[in-house]
Amino acid sequence: MTDGPAPVHRPRVAMVVNNGMANDSRVIKSAVSLARAGADVTAFGVASAGAAGAETTSGGAHFVRLPTFPRRGVTASYAAYAVRRRRGRLGPAERWRTSLAATTAYARAFVPALREHAPDVVHVHDVHVLGAVLEAWPDPATRPAVVYDAHEYVADLAVSGARTRRVVDGWAALEAEVIPHVDRVITVADGIARRLEAEHPLRAPVAVVHNAPLAWDHLRASRDLRAEAGVGADTALAVYSGAVSAARGLDTVIDALPSAPGVHLAVVAVPHPHPMAPELERRAREAGVADRLHLVPPVASAEVPSYLSAADVAVSPIHGDSASYDMALPNKLFEFIHAGLPIATSDIAAMAGFVREHGLGAVFRQRDAIDCACALVEVLERVRVGEGPDPGVLARLRHEFSWQTQERHLVEVYRDLPSGATAGLEVPDRPWHLEELQLDFGGA
């Protein structure tokens, strides 16, 4: 009697990130991609403040929320956290272990979980949990391979709200201290990759894995954008999709509407209703265009391109006040491409260059409402006379900047890790399924 075939070893990959994961499409796509390629993947994220842990499985990957922060209120644990946070504001920002109280909370939550999990590779999404990973294994001889996924250019993040210049400097100090010790760095844009290579002593060149959407052949959005906005098919409709903050420049677009007669603006943002909605509506009233601003509910991430495609033009008015924004090719750019929309973008370097290079639309001076209006009118007129983006170019870009293409770049990074533990990973020749992107933590 002969023994059956030996069980196939699946390398263990632990992902870590400082959010709840359900709305982080890059984390979900990356985890499922590596599971599809043959890895045993567990992604660790953060539970809501004061909440218990929770877990779920999707696309062959396991997702675990760790209790990390105390619930805000009159409790001993929250008081201790608040004291650490206040004390941290007194010392130099570069001493990130004390200046960033959150790093202590991340270490307490993630270090025990990672040590117990004993992975072959740790994939660190964003900078926030990077210090905890090295704390889990201070001895390089026992440390698993570490892949750092830099979602942004940390050294010059946009300052906004609680993210002050001091906080940015603290995260930049953490990154600068730890990044020489990781095995590979990946990021979301070529400009960020080259900057990281120039500024840090890295073990290998930075790989670029764009945060592109999955390409779906027949997926239709569950809701209609024009119906949500209350406009008909003959109404000129511009759409903005993404985060809403002062740095995102929506005030410029609202101020542009009086100079773009008949053009309506739909804003798709999470959460809905958005905390900034009253301010946007106030600005629209003052500009006399309240009837042309529509704050509409979002759809699931996979449905976004189909949802946006009902518009006539996409607009991206981001301010280039930080190098992180100036070098970024945000996922909204690729969603616009998959939606087949022409684009009016502000003149932040990377995105403006991309739009010009591929003939995708028009560029306007950031914060210049009149120039924004001119760009919107110009793009709409080009489309009207049949001079919109070239369909062949759009088809090529949809393929190149699809997650199906980008996951191959991700898996190639893993195949080349020095440890060799993930050398056997291989992207399968099978389609993705929508349910692989959906996380259900049971209301946790």
Average pLDDT over residues 367-395: 97
Q: What is the mean pLDDT of the chain?
A: 92
Taking 70 as the threshold, does the pLDDT of residue 5 lie above it?
A: no
The pLDDT confidence band at residue 99, using thresholds 50, 70 and 90, is: confident
- Specify the pLDDT at position 387: 94
Could you tell me which CATH class the domain 12-212+403-437 is placed in? Answer: alpha beta
- Block residue for tokens 């569950």: 222
Longest dimension (CA), the chain: 85
Q: Where are the domains of the chain?
A: 12-212+403-437, 225-396
DSSP state at residue 122: E
pLDDT at 4: 47
Assign 46 to helix, strand or coil.
Answer: strand
More confident residue, 80 or 324: 324
12-212+403-437 shares its CATH topology with 225-396: yes
Distance CA 255, CA 58 (A): 43
Segment (H or E) for 39: none
pLDDT band at 2; cut points 50, 70, 90: very low
- Provide the 10 A C-beta neighbour count for residue 75: 12
Say what the pLDDT of residue 443 is.
73
Q: How confident is the model at residue 75 (pLDDT cuts 50, 70, 90)?
A: low
Q: What is this structure's pTM?
A: 0.91
Indicate whether 84 pLDDT > 60. no
Torsion of CA 402, 303, 313, 250, to 10 degrees: -100
More confident residue, 326 or 200: 200
Question: Among 2-11, 64-73, 147-156, 294-303, which is the least confidently predicted range?
Answer: 2-11
Average of per-residue pLDDT across 116-135? 97
Determine phi and psi for 404, rounding to 5 degrees: -60, -35
Tally of CB atoms within 10 A around 359: 14
Q: What is the mean pLDDT of residues 421-437?
A: 95
Percent of the chain residues past pLDDT 70, beyond the cut: 93
What is the arithmetic mean of pLDDT over 358-381?
98
Residue 77 reports pLDDT greater than 70:
no
* Angle between helices 403-415 and 25-36 in degrees, nearest 10: 60
Segment 145-189, tens digit of pLDDT: 999 999 999 999 888 778 888 999 999 999 999 999 999 999 999
Q: Span 421-428, mean pLDDT?
A: 97
Q: Is the pLDDT of residue 427 over 80?
A: yes
Per-residue CA distances from 328 to 125, 147, 189, 190 (Å): 16, 20, 6, 8
Mean pLDDT of 252-278: 95
pLDDT digits (tens, 9 = 90+) for 208-262: 999 999 999 888 999 999 999 999 999 999 999 988 887 789 999 999 999 999 9
Which CATH code, of 3.40.630.30, 3.40.50.2000, 3.90.1170.50, 1.10.8.60, is assigned to 225-396? Answer: 3.40.50.2000
pLDDT at site 1: 43
pLDDT > 90: percent of the chain = 80
Q: Is the pLDDT of residue 133 over 60?
A: yes
Model pLDDT, residue 277? 93
DSSP secondary structure code for residue 340 in this structure: T
**Pseudo-torsion of CA 230, 235, 236, 238, nearest 10°?**
10
* Radius of gyration of the chain from its Cα atoms, rounded to whole angstroms: 23
Residues 6+ apart with CB under 8 A from 69: 46, 49, 50, 81, 102, 105
E-state strands within 263-332: 263-268, 293-296, 313-316
